[in-house]
Amino acid sequence: MPGGGAVGAAPAAGFGEQGDTSSMNPRLMGVVNVTPDSFSDGGLFIDPEQAIAHGRELVEQGAEILDVGGESTRPGAEEVGAEEERRRVEPVIAGLAGKATVSVDTSKAAVAEAALAAGASIVNDVTALRGDPGMAALCAEREAGLILMHMQGDPRTMQVEPRYGDVVDDVRAFLAERVESAVAAGVAEERIWVDPGIGFGKTLEHNLELLRRLGELRELGRPLVVGTSRKSFIARIDDSPVEERLGGTIASSILAAVEGADVLRVHDVAETSQAFRVASAILG
């Protein structure tokens, strides 16, 4: 169960291992958005010192990984230039390196390169290496951990009538192909994790189906990262504003862990960690 201590900053400690689903013991990835326009906390941590303090607080609450992002990927978000994105994330990553394992949430190789130099050890690429032709080679050369996420379209277009045959089969096939592509480019397979991309180019029913059948994605043989935190599919169930989605986040996160999620990307680390401790005790 997620605890309260920091983990070492060695490259993605345990990053190539799948979790033991029988013990429901996912790692918590705390979100550190250094953006003015993220959907849930945009502008709160745009100052580097505030972002660093927030990251340290998340580690104290039980986060083992900190995911630092300098460009919003909410539906309809505007693109940010590589230099501006790098300027946002580089000092924050440098300030958090050594406090926890740090990932950089970016699809730009130039930003990832600066982030890895500053102390990050994981690249969390929502485009699954489709956004920048240099990303795969960089991750291979630096032996970085790599998270490949499914997204239909891009943040500007992803919620425009997303369509699938069978959403789970389609997402699984996409991720299998992207893992194969990454390995062909030199990325060690044991350093690759996959993310079904809850909320990225999916309707409410698509998201629910993926969460119900999350276990089928374990057939890929790679650890699963799942992020439901504060997302709009929760509001489509109970019409809750973003600041009132903690209950839905916890419910979906616990169920994702039961289905085999290895890492859960969350904003509210303390509350999620407590929920897991209680659920784990009840389930034995």
Span 121-149, pLDDT tens digits: 999 999 999 999 999 999 999 999 999 99
Closest to 123 measured CA to CA, from 52, 36, 192: 192
Confidence tier at 39 by pLDDT (50, 70, 90): very low
Pairing type for strands 225-226 and 192-195 reads unpaired
What are the residue ranges spanned by the domains of the chain?
Answer: 26-283
Residue 15 pLDDT exceeds 70: no
Residue 22 pLDDT exceeds 70: no
Active site amino acids = 231, 265
**Which amino acid type is present at position 147?**
I
Structure tokens at 253: 């996160």
Instruction: Quote the CA–CA distance of 90 and 69 in Å, as a whole number.
Output: 10
What is the CATH superfamily name and number for domain 26-283? Answer: Dihydropteroate synthase-like (3.20.20.20)
Q: What is the mean pLDDT of the chain?
A: 88
Confidence tier at 95 by pLDDT (50, 70, 90): very high
CB 184 within 8 A of CB 102: no
CB 167 within 8 A of CB 210: yes
How does pLDDT run across 53-69, given as a tens digit for each residue?
999 999 999 999 999 99
Could you tell me the pTM of the whole model? 0.89
**Beta partners for 69?**
33, 105
* φ, ψ at 59 (rounded to 5°): -65, -45
CB 64 within 8 A of CB 101: yes
Pairing type for strands 263-266 and 101-105 reads unpaired
